[in-house]
Chains A and B, each alone.
Chain A
């Protein structure tokens, strides 16, 4: 009894912070997928990505802002790089994580980063190191359950965070644009929708396009932007870009952010006031 009391005493005052939900969720998905299908190839690669994220975040924040920073965001960046990047070598994992984190500090507008860090890091690696890097684009096994679990958990979680409309709009847009692509290219419709049944899209849909730090604020704005992402993706797909969704978000995301920040700044200057801070919870793959 005394032991229980002492443990309770130790835990007194310890409160669960919702910001740890995304890291925990993505860790759970990762572990489930790895234990089932070995998606990681090796733990050193994942640890390298996470470690590089931590070090970069700690150093840059300390040097540029002057304080130590909570590492939950860097953890998500690292783990997402560890999942998405596919390379038999070790260095791309470290470099992608470092580029992702550094992009938050470098590519800023109105004192806010406008690229989703992981998206930026992944695209940078695809463009700069195609001889060494690919992105997760195959199935995690054959069973439907892995896919269903991710879709269900992801949907419920994202619904509770009031961002389900982003995912739903994107998925619907993808299926609609697939009809056009199939008609335009003559490719079977099932082939056109095939990619969205893979884990790359599950991660992209739930964890990347929903990132509050790099999506616009208004609900209808978010819906419009994500339709634009799907549209630009369609253009890339017609031009046979394998990693079309990443390229689409890489282009559309910052443009939308830029326009919104510029518009808000203009309005604030007119109103001489400050807008509300972004304090909404996140389960995004990068929350900067």
Chain B
């Protein structure tokens, strides 16, 4: 060591290094006014909107109950029976009002179909419509639901994924539902949390993807073995298989997953579909727990090419639980948001925002920009949805968090991480997992509401806009339930209530929405997209069935416009290939657009 001066300099340098994490962690707190006490006017002034919990006021009283599985799993029951709360929005009776379906997951509990009365009130009509009683010993329990008009009769039909026997209901013109007898091509039993209606071959008939979580040979109520857990925390391939049911019309399906290359035994938690590479055919993205995200590129309806690795999103394994699409930068391209697990000091996977770019080979590639945009660290994240909550013209993001909230102040993470790091002979056997004994695991986590500033950053504002929620949230959906042009947020919580948050925005903000109906294309227009041009902005959205985790948004595509008083044009691309342009559509209105009838 040279001199005393050098030594002092060294110690100062070292102290700065050690202080750096503290400075980084608190920079946001220091740079932003931390007086976050919620006030409606302040929220409007600062963030352009505020939220209110209207669940009770709107007459919705639904509480999810978790399944009670085989006694051999009793010691880890909360973490195994940790899903099943779902919400899917639909206008089942074509009255122009958004209704929604909610699943329950314990034997002898009912699912609910909340009919929108049009006066800020809802009535559960599931029982009278025949879609309530699905959870029992013979058929297993509900995990999620997805709506799509598979027979093109103009009414959305209901498919319910189960840990058990999946169920398809035909919508009888909005008056009642009748159960469809499923053929032998459907599995006798499956442990599935995700299904997607999409027309993969563009024949005008909706096909159905069904993804397995636990292996389909496992009956979780009657275990023959306790070796049912993932064989690895990040490389597991002992999950459920995938099914792809090609719609033959007349209510008939054929199973074609092997034929089309949709083969995987990863633990699929969520899937969604849109045309990512502009081929005109819908591609499929699957978020897998205990593994990498999967991207299946649709080759003209003839095969699915597993392109995740090639596209740059299939190499780093995490705990995928959500797939939602959003044009977050108003570039006319949809990014993919996949949620994962982040727990301070234990496991920092970070959520993924896969932003597309064209490679030199003209194939689509993705880059994870979640960190750059500030939407990386959620928690133990499940469902997420994009939606312009403050109508400023940029898509915001709602993310559900929280795994198991049991006894407060307790933590199962140590035991969890001990086994999760082990060899497959240890991790795969439920007997080797330490008992939870009432301890929480990433419990009591706050959901995130990230506002898009339009300049490449998101800011978390849940507290500041009155949207705090720390229940174990699973499924999130957005819909304009009261037809005021603003999005409500619905959150299904595990072993907890369904929550509805209404939004109120600044009065000078405008919006526009498009409700698409196919004719040549499937009637639900799933796969159609609207590219909106206004005030030097461009944003694309597509009609989807499943979106997020065990959820489905409203059918109409909703765009915030900021203060813009006019829209230049809306370009509609239908699954059939037809492209229609709607010039200067009226703002602050939901436009009903029917294929082949759009006026230029």
Which residues does A use to contact B, with CB under 8 Å?
37-38, 41-42, 60, 63-66, 86-92, 95, 98-99, 102-103, 105-106, 124-126, 128-134, 137-139, 141-142, 144, 147, 185-188, 190-195, 197-198, 200, 237, 240-242
Quick check: B418 and A191 within 8 Å, CB to CB?
A: yes
Given the complex of chains A and B, what is the CA–CA distance between A132 and B22 in angstroms? 11
Residues of chain B from 1 to 29 with CB closer than 8 A to chain A in the complex: 1-2, 6, 9-11, 13-14, 17-18, 20-22, 24-25
Alpha-carbon distance between A176 and B481 when the two chains are bound, in angstroms:
61
Whether B422 pairs with A98 at a CB distance below 8 angstroms is no
> Is the CB–CB distance between A139 and B6 below 8 Å?
no
Inter-subunit contact B411/A240 (CB<8 Å): yes
Quote the shortest CB–CB distance from B11 to chain A (angstroms).
6
Interface centre among A92, A132, A133 (most CB of B within 10 A): A132
Write the chain A residue with the least CB distance to B13. Answer: A102
Find B348's partner among A63, A88, A240, A242 (CB 8 Å cutoff): A88
A33 to B388, CA, bound (A): 42
Contact of B2 among A64, A87, A191, A198 (CB under 8 A): A64
B424 CB, nearest partner CB in chain A, Å? 5
Q: Which of B103-111, B230-238, B356-364 contacts A (4 or more CB under 8 A)?
A: B230-238
Instruction: Given A190-B426, A191-B433, A200-B421, verify A131-B344 contact (CB < 8 Å).
Output: yes
How far is the CB of B55 from the nearest CB of chain A, in Å? 32
Closest residue on chain B to residue A241 by CB atoms = B414
**Partner pick for B11 among A38, A106, A185, CB 8 A cutoff:** A106
Most chain A Cβ neighbours within 10 Å, of B21, B350, B434: B21
* B182 lies within 8 A of chain A by Cβ: no
- Name, among A126, A186, A195, the residue most crowded by chain B CB atoms within 10 Å (CB to CB): A195
A141 touches B235 (CB 8 A): yes
Q: How many residues of B contact A (CB 8 A)?
A: 57
B371 and A88 contact, CB distance less than 8 A: yes
The answer to whether B43 has its CB under 8 Å from any CB of chain A is: no
Contact pick for A191, options B6, B234, B377, B419, CB 8 Å = B419
Q: Is the CB of A134 within 8 A of B348?
A: yes
Q: Does B253 contact A (CB under 8 A)?
A: no
Q: B371 near A106 (CB under 8 angstroms)? A: no
A185 and B431 alpha carbons, distance in the complex (Å)? 15
Within 349-383 of B, Cβ neighbours of A (below 8 Å) are at 349-350, 368, 370-371, 376-377
Contact B413 A194 (CB under 8 A): no
Q: A128-B22, A198-B422 are in contact. Are A38 and B10 (CB under 8 A)?
A: no
Q: Mark B417-430, 1 if CB is under 8 A from A, else 0.
A: 11111111011010
Closest residue of chain B to A239, judged by CB? B414
Q: List 20 A-B contacts (CB under 8 A).
A: A60-B10, A63-B6, A64-B10, A106-B14, A124-B18, A128-B21, A132-B24, A133-B348, A134-B346, A137-B347, A141-B235, A142-B237, A187-B415, A190-B432, A191-B434, A192-B418, A194-B423, A194-B426, A197-B423, A242-B414
A194–B25 touching, CB < 8 Å = no
> Known contacts A41-B316, A142-B235, A187-B415; is A89 also within 8 Å of B371 by CB?
yes
Q: Which residues of B contact A64 (CB under 8 A)?
A: 1-2, 6, 10
Q: A138-B233, A194-B427, A194-B432 are in contact. Are A102 and B17 (CB under 8 A)?
A: yes
A68 to B433, CA, bound (A): 52
Instruction: Give every chain B residue within 8 A of A99 (Cβ-Cβ).
Output: 14, 17-18
Find out whether the CB atom of B417 lies under 8 angstroms from the CB atom of A197: no
A99's nearest neighbour on chain B, judged by CB, is: B17
Q: How far does the alpha carbon of A200 sit from the alpha carbon of B233 in the complex, in Å?
A: 14
Report B-chain residues with C-beta under 8 Å of the C-beta of A197.
421-423, 426
